[in-house]
Amino acid sequence: MTISALPTLQQHSDTPDETGLDGEDQAQRAAASAALLRAADAGEAAAAWVRELAGRQREENHARALERAAEAIARASGREVVPGSDGLLAEELGYTLAADVVLGAPHTTGTRPNLYPGERMPLITVCAIAATFPSCVLGDLAAELTALACELTAATEAGRGATAAGDARTRPARRPRTLGCDHADPLDHLAYQNVFDHAAEALEISLHYQDDYSERARAQALHNALAAAGPGIAAAALLRVADDPALGLDPDQWEHLHLIAAELDLRVVEDLGGANGDGLTDPTRPRPA
C-alpha cells in the first residue's frame, strides 16, 4: 500500500477568505500534492521490483539487504518527503541505499547477490534517485519531484526489462521458427501461403515471358521469385525477434521493429496478427510440407 506524504500538508478550505490563499497558492498546493502522490507511486513500483530481486536470492543475507533497500526506497519517496522540513534523508535510509544494495553481504557470504546482466545499473539508479527525493522540499517541490518521479519510473522499467530478459534466458532454448515451419499455427500458415503465392506468381510471370528455358532464364525466374518472397520472410523474422522476451525490448524498441516489418510487408504483419482472419477459413489450401 502506498504511504502518502499528503498528511504532512496543511489542510485548507476551498474558500480563499477563510485561508488567505489566493488562486495561485491553491494551484501550487494542488501541484505539490499531485507530485507527492506521483513520487510515492513511483517509489512503490520501484520497491516492488527490488522485492522481486530479493525473492530470487538463495543467500538469506542478500535477500534481507534487498528487502531493506525496497523498504527504504518506498519510505524515501513517500513519507520522508515532508514539506517544510530540512530535506535531509534519514541516516539509516542513506546507509541502506548505499553499496550493500548491489554488493549484498560479501563479508558474511563471500558472494554477491544473484543479479542478471543489466540489473545492477538500474538498481543503483533507483536507489540513488529515491535518496534525493526528500531534498526536493528545499526547491520547487512540484517540478523537481515530478521530474525525479519520471526518472525513477524509467529506471524501474529498465530494471524490469533486464529481469524479463534474464528470466527468458533461464528457460530452455527454443528452436528458431521460420515462416511456414509452424504447422500448428494457422496464422503462420496464412502468412506463408500469401508469401508463397506472391513468389509463385512472380516465377510464373517470369517464365511466361522467357523465350526459352535455358539456365539463364531459370535463374532470372528464380531471382524474381526470391525478390517477391524476401520482404515477407524478413518481416516475419523481425516480428519474432521483437516478440522474443530474451531481448528485454522496451515498448519503443518493440514498436520500432514492428513498424519496420510493416514497411517490408504489411500483409504478413496483418496475417500474423490475425487481422486477415484466423487462417482456418480456406482449408482447401495445401499446407507447406
Residues 111-163: tens digit of each pLDDT:
889 999 999 999 999 999 999 999 999 999 999 999 999 999 999 999 998 89
d(CA 132, CA 103) in angstroms, rounded, equals: 21
Establish if 283 belongs to a structural domain.
no
**201 and 160 together in one domain:** no
- Answer yes or no: do 156 and 253 share one domain: no
Task: For residue 87, give the C-alpha cell.
Answer: 530535506
Neighbour tally for 283: CB within 10 Å: 8
* Cα 124 from Cα 50, distance rounded (Å): 11
Question: Same structural domain for residues 92 and 164?
Answer: yes
Tell me, yes or no, if the pTM score tops 0.75.
Answer: no
Taking a C-beta distance cutoff of 8 angstroms, is the pair 104, 59 a contact? yes
Residue 197: the pLDDT is 87
Domain count, the chain: 2
Same domain, 123 and 196: no
Taking residue 20's Cβ as centre, other Cβ atoms within 10 Å add up to 8
In a domain, 260, yes or no: yes
Is residue 180 in a domain? no
Q: Note down the domain range covering 248.
A: 186-273
- Pair (218, 159) in one structural domain: no
Alpha-carbon span 32 to 81, nearest angstrom: 11
Which of 170, 199, 215 marks a domain boundary?
Answer: 170
Give me the helix-helix angle, 215-242 and 251-264, nearest 10°.
160
Check residue 67 and give its pLDDT.
93
166 and 191 in a single domain? The answer is no
Same domain, 140 and 213: no
28 inside domain: yes
| Residue 286 included in any domain | no
pLDDT in the model for residue 176: 63
The neighbour count for residue 108, using CB atoms within 10 Å, is: 11
Whether 76 is covered by a domain: the verdict is yes
Domain match, 85 and 223 both: no
Does 110 share its domain with 203? no
**Does residue 176 lie within any of the structural domains?**
no
Q: In terms of Cα–Cα distance, which of 152, 132, 154, 136 is closest to 144?
A: 136
Where are the extended beta strands (E) located within 160-276? none
Residues of the chain with pLDDT below 70 are: 1-22, 100, 104-109, 172-176, 180, 182-184, 211-213, 278-289
With b for 16 or more beta-carbon neighbours within 10 A and e for fewer, the 168-193 pattern comes to: eeeeeeeeeeebbeeeeebbbbbbbb
Residues 13 and 99 in one domain: yes
- Contacts with 178 (C-beta within 8 Å, 6 or more apart), sequence order: 233, 236, 237
Q: Are residues 159 and 203 in the same domain?
A: no
287 within some domain: no
